[in-house]
Amino acid sequence: MKLFDVYPLFDIAIDHGKGCHVTDTEGIEYLDLYGGHAVISIGHGHPRYLEALNRQAAKLVFYSNSVINPLQQRLADLLGEASGYDDYQLFLVNSGAEANENAMKLASFATGRRRIIAFSKAFHGRTSLAVEATDNPAIQAQVNQNGVVTLVPWEDSEALARELEAGDVAAVIIEPIQGVGGIQVASDRFMRDIRDLTARHGSLMIADEIQCGYGRSGKFFAHQYSGVRPDIITMAKGIANGFPMGALLIAPTIAPVYGMLGTTFGGNHLACAAAIAVLEVMKDENILANVNETGAYIMEQLKGIPGIKEVRGRGLMIGIEMEEPVKQLRSDLIHKEHIFTGASGKNVIRLLPPLCLTRDEADIFISSLRKLTGVG
Ligand SMILES: Cc1ncc(COP(=O)(O)O)c(C=O)c1O
């Protein structure tokens, strides 16, 4: 049987990983500044994480959400403490798109309204409503085009106010730092305008923290730089260091009703064990401090490298916009320097490394980049 060929692939098969490095089936080791698309948070093969997974797998991998799962409550307690959202409610799912899908559905339930506002260049996932809220018609099928979502220009508070005045908007969904859109950091003013305007017009604010959240920006959530508290916060990627999981934090003002949301696999025992280990390691190893230090160091070191138009981002979510397309540069980074990076559009290199990246590992990247741009 053939694989359904939807991914343009690098001709590399990763066999194993340790910390911020991965090794392919040929035995070549790579520095991982991509984190498997922002997924690896505490590092590949972390011993405490593996121990927690193995221990739980030997006991119980899965049982359904029709019985009490004490691991879910333990995760909720740790997450409340780590994020500062102890008063919110936790709903567990399996992926980022599923988290956003549920967030928008919940907003519609809670407000009795059916319109969603998203922003230009947004990416919220590939399921029905999540992809309708994504600014890319090429990945929307006709069944996704239901006229539910209005796209508003990024940072345009006046346009947002005009839309909200209609009184039919269930939620405004925003990535506090756009990922696929090229590492665009929403200004504090824009975040506060969204919070004020949604509150004034009876709409909910959803922060999509799937890529920028869970410590990646240097705060637990990227929206916390602006001091706002959204009604719903979605997360996935780094939450379980590679084990598939997603989650919603839901404000106490939104009341649950039996059956309004549900999932077979969401919050299963093995996923919870993985996510608990991630939060324990993040705390014990002071991962947030490392994100801030190493992120600031990279930003500083990038200054003065020729061909860079702009560096954007926060913490270890860094976009390097080059003056020229980055396809060849990324290919050279992988094949000649053995460094994985991500990209956004044609000109932006995206760094989404494991959050335990060290200064020495950052130096390897900086000297490779200097070499490839002709100054090393
Ligand atoms: C901001 C954002 N939202 C949603 C998603 C969708 O997540 P998933 O691929 O887990 O469905 C992504 C994935 O890249 C993302 O970056």
Whether the CB of 94 sits within 6 Å of ligand 1: no
Residue with CA nearest ligand 1 atom 3: 124
Q: What pLDDT is attached to residue 360?
A: 98
| Nearest residue by C-alpha to atom 8 in ligand 1 | 96
Where do the domains of the chain lie, and which CATH numbers do they carry?
14-46+286-372 (3.90.1150.10), 47-284 (3.40.640.10)
Ligand 1 atom at minimal distance to the Cα of residue 127: 11
42-81 in b/e burial notation, b at 16+ Cβ within 10 A? bbbbbeebeebbeebeeeeeeeeeeeebebbeebbebbbe
Q: State the Cα–Cα distance between residues 255 and 269, nearest whole angstrom.
A: 25
Name the residue of 211, 263, 265 to mutate for ligand 1: max ligand atoms within 8 A of Cβ.
211
| Residue among 144, 141, 143, 142 at smallest CA distance from 130 | 144
- Each of the 376 residues of the chain gets a pLDDT tens digit; together they read 999 999 999 999 999 999 999 999 999 999 999 999 999 999 999 999 999 999 999 999 999 999 999 999 999 999 999 999 999 999 999 999 999 999 999 999 999 999 999 999 999 999 999 999 999 999 999 999 999 999 999 999 999 999 999 999 999 999 999 999 999 999 999 999 999 999 999 999 999 999 999 999 999 999 999 999 999 999 999 999 999 999 999 999 999 999 999 999 999 999 999 999 999 999 999 999 999 999 999 999 999 899 999 999 999 999 999 999 999 999 999 999 999 999 999 999 999 999 999 999 999 999 999 999 987 6
CA of 58 to the centre of ligand 1 (A): 31
Q: Does the C-beta of 96 come closer than 6 Å to ligand 1?
A: yes
Cβ of 124 less than 6 Å from ligand 1: yes
Check pocket membership of 216 for ligand 1, CB cut-off 6 A: no
pTM of the complete model: 0.98
Q: What is the DSSP string of 258-275?
A: TTSS--SSTT-HHHHHHH
Q: Determine the length of the chain.
A: 376
**Spatial contact of 298 and 366, defined as CB atoms under 8 Å apart:** yes
135 lines ligand 1 (CB under 6 A): no
d(CA 305, ligand 1 centre) in Å: 31
Q: Relative to the CA of 97, which ligand 1 atom is closest?
A: 11
